[in-house]
Structure 1
């Protein structure tokens, strides 16, 4: 947000600067150089003496008065050949000089003027020019005056623009805070603005959009929660009926079919549990934070894998820091990762953990078929499965990794997928050590 207004400020300053140069060149073109006008005013005393005292003398007294001025003036008055004066003047000033006008050179602190156009001052005066040097001309002062004008114009524009922008900036800051709260799971976050605020119409549209999103998500959550609970009742009845049927059955073929039906019921019951877990995570629960030692947690989860991989490597240093986390939720996420690696591996799973700064990273690798790079973004989507090796034949519903990502995100961490050095997939979980960095608030 600050970058937006900084760029706007830079644009205004550049526009003012460009306008200043355009105005300067336009005035110079139409009315003459403003610096020359300032210099002419600064040398007004010397010009006055020349025009009102020396030039008013008769032909036989003109040089006498000029010499008197030379004696008392701090400026140096000289008579130079006309050719030398023409060579020293810029081409743009030659026409005025030839007309007998006084030409001021601010940078040289001097002015030129022809002595006479017709030789009336004295014989040959029409071939000579007056050069005045060391005039009291201060270009620095002139530039400071121009700078003051620029600053005044800039302030006259920037102050109203700043006051006008301030209300926009405050409103956009409020909208940004609302967007952050809404994105962190606070679906009730809304922008509170007065109708006369500059961005009130935008805030109203954002509030309306947030209301619709909240209603849709709430309806989806309620539907999922209600369906999951409603399905539990017929599942329980079917389990009871199958148990009675198994007690009455004597045919081995029927018993085998009953066992298959019980497996389907267990799968359906597992799906309901996963859906309820997803619903709880989507509602951004308040984390029950406590100090958790990750090393024994990973060792216990690895030991509980069934069936255990043929080769299970644990690289867990003894100096791993404890983390502030929800023990149950963190264990659920890490357990899902381990079981996912065990399920799709070819008998080799490796688990390692490292501390870097104020973060703890856990790496889970397998030697299975891996995850194509094009599928890695979608693998965390609920119910998404990769064809061929990672399908329902391996079990699961495509919710495990989604639960991992949501649980880790609630702790302020992240999950990334890569290629394992074992040849399969690798999952890296990074979570902050300190409780202050946890983002899972209710």
Structure 2
């Protein structure tokens, strides 16, 4: 089987899975078997040492036939009141069926430990060992003393594992909790390894949703699957950039090329009027030519604003964008004997193309000044990192059936906002395009003042 590489997402998951499984196996299966209070096999080095001790005893008492004397000698300690040598083992002798022959085993806990061990020891198996607190007994080892076949058990002082390990041995749930604690860092690392590239993708997607088409090299880092996806994402962003720029330049080129024949048309109309005199037909031709020229001019302006606008993004305060614009609009309204009222501009920052953002509000405000009777209100509301701008006038308004149509290019209603006003129907279309490019929304409704109300929402910079 070919193992996956660790630089891939699957490889990391594969490695963490097996590592976690190994921790669980060690913790739940192997670790409890290390409990010294359970009977277990004697390590080879210790086993050999005990065999040597047995052979030493058999050699020492090989010529003695008195078993009681041998047992008494094995119980003796050097120096009746001297310090006990904790490294010296205790030797106990039993019959083949487990009856204890060693006399006067002291202290009492040693006797109880030996009694318990001889009752559970499998004499037909290899010698084993088991701990009783800080005392450990091993055996049985076949031994011949006083020409009798007997069994030897060896007791030694035993430091034992730390108390917290004993606690874990006695409480499986705590052991399972420890295994979980040990494996948690590996799982957290895996979660971090997965979440970091995913968060980078989420931020990149948010930028694209806001119209900010920027190639991010950080997307091509991390596991191989994310690197591949990041590379494809950056290629897509580059392709979208090229497509949008190409379309906008095409619109600009077409609009520019239309101006030349239009200029010649107006010159020909002027020459015809000079030769033949003024007529209603020539005036109509000239009027439509002027409107066409105005329309082309606005298309060129829209094209200039939108060309690479998705790549020209800045973060700046709202006041730097709209304060002077509203002040100028207020002055112009006063010249028409109208009143423009607006709230203080919120002290917040916004990310976007300055020209488009300025044009968005300017078109709505000038439209309201143009068609309102004498009052125009501009209100700002900030809520949950969103800015809501409301512009309303007290003009004749727009029929409810046409409210959704006024943002279409070249669309004009047939009431007071008709061809006699000289509009081209591009102002609100430019506004709608600018708002949409900044991940905002815009809608029109009946104003509380009786005219038209235009309201748009934009996301703010956090």
TM-score, normalised relative to structure 1: 0.52
Gaps of 5+ in 1: 28-32, 83-95, 111-134
CA distance in 2, matches of 1:105, 1:313: 96
Residues 87-126 of structure 1 aligned to structure 2 (within 5 Å)? none
Once the two structures are TM-superposed, the CA of residue 177 in structure 1 deviates from its matched residue by 6.4
Q: Which residue of 1 aligns with 2:455?
A: 427
Query: Counterpart of 2:291?
Result: 267
* Matched positions, count: 368
Which of the residues 218, 221, 227 maps onto 2:248? Answer: 221
> Which of 427, 431, 436 is 1:404 aligned to?
431
Residue 38 of structure 1 aligns with which residue?
35
Gap regions ≥5 residues in structure 2:
1-7, 43-49, 51-89, 136-158, 170-174
Counterparts in 2 of 1:287 and 1:202: CA distance versus 1, 3 Å = closer
Cα displacement (A) at 1:231: 0.9
Quick one: distance in 2 between partners of 1:38 and 1:181? 60
Aligned to 1:233: 260
Alignment of 1:310-349 (within 5 A): 312=339, 314-317=341-344, 332-341=359-368, 349=376
Q: Deviations over 1:53-97 (max 9, x none)?
A: 6671589x9478597255264977899xx9xxxxxxxxxxxxx99
Change (3 A) 1:386 1:65: farther
Larger Rg: 2
User: C-alpha deviations, 1:211-256, integer Å up to 9, x for none?
Assistant: 54444334323321221111111221222233344445567xx42x
- Name the CA shift for 1:404/1:224 in 2 (closer, same or farther; >3 Å): same
After the TM superposition, which residues 146-157 of structure 1 pair with which residues of structure 2 at under 5 Å, given as runs? Answer: none
Q: Any conservation in 2 of the 1:235–1:265 contact (CA below 8 Å)?
A: yes
Q: 1:172 to 1:136 in 2, by over 3 A?
A: closer
- Determine if contact 2:393/2:453 at 8 Å carries over to the other structure: yes
C-alpha separation in 2, matches of 1:181 and 1:68: 85
Q: Which residue of 2 aligns with 1:243?
A: 270
**Contact 1:408-1:431 within 8 A present in 2 as well:** no
Match of 1:383 in 2: 409
Q: Which secondary structure does the structure 1 equivalent of 2:94 belong to?
A: coil
Q: Distance in 2 between matches of 1:67 and 1:147?
A: 45
Query: How does the TM-score come out when normalised to structure 2?
Result: 0.51
Distance in 1 (alpha carbons) for counterparts of 2:93 and 2:210: 85
Separation of aligned partners in 1, 2:383 and 2:106? 85
Shift in CA distance, 389/316, structure 1 to aligned 2, threshold 3 Å: same
Q: Distance in 2 between matches of 1:190 and 1:146?
A: 44
Task: Indicate the RMSD between aligned Cα atoms, in angstroms.
Answer: 6.8
Q: Is the 8 A contact 1:54 1:66 kept in 2?
A: no
| Residues 1:216 and 1:261: Cα distance change in structure 2 (over 3 Å) | same
Shift of the 105–385 alpha-carbon distance from structure 1 to 2, 3 Å rule, reads: farther
In 2 relative to 1, CA 353–207 (structure 1 residues): closer, same or farther, beyond 3 Å?
Answer: closer
Matches of 2:335 and 2:14, distance apart in 1: 66
